[in-house]
Amino acid sequence: MKYCMDAKPSEDDITAIRRGLKHSNQPFLASIPEGSLAGYAYNDHDERVGGIIANTWGQWLLIKYLWVDEAFRHRRVGSHLLSNLEEYAKEVGCHAAFVDTFSFQAKPFYEKHGYQCQMTLEDYPVDHALHFMTKVLRK
């Protein structure tokens, strides 16, 4: 047996490992439906000033990115984007949502919208905390 560490794996190397893992997981996860979702906010000049990107996996909504231009923060743009995404997710069968957020980002925002912190990694990656938050979308 030979082992090798690689500080700069190629895209082909990464793809090969990912493909192997997916193949190993297939008997357990192959039938779980998945999809992508996005929502956008535009100003009066049709310029994008915010957006939210997420995936659905089974009955879960997985929020990846939520961004609002600084000039439009505190105007409920993020709240509308999140609410619209959650409503759509419920329509496609999601019962819960998951998001991670750094300590300098939006933990209070998500808490205000009913998300609860399930776990926190301190000093991640160095001087911050990373919060893992969930919310039940329908009971």
The reported pLDDT for the residue numbered 139 is 56
The reported pLDDT for the residue numbered 31 is 87
The reported pLDDT for the residue numbered 125 is 93
Residue ranges of the domains in the chain? 33-136
Closest CA to 109 of 72, 66, 55: 66
- Beta carbons within 8 Å of 75's beta carbon, 6+ residues apart: none
CATH of 33-136, one of 3.30.530.20, 3.40.50.10490, 3.40.630.30, 3.40.50.720: 3.40.630.30
pTM: 0.87
User: Tokens 């984007």 map to which residue?
Assistant: 81
Beta-bridge mates of residue 67: 51
Each residue's pLDDT tens digit in the chain (139 positions)?
999 999 999 999 999 999 999 999 999 988 899 999 999 999 999 999 999 999 999 999 999 999 999 999 999 999 999 999 999 999 999 999 999 999 999 999 999 999 999 999 999 999 999 999 999 997 5
Long-range contacts of 105-113 (CB under 8 A, 24+ apart): 106/66, 106/78, 107/131, 107/133, 109/78, 110/135, 113/79, 113/82, 113/83
The reported pLDDT for the residue numbered 138 is 78
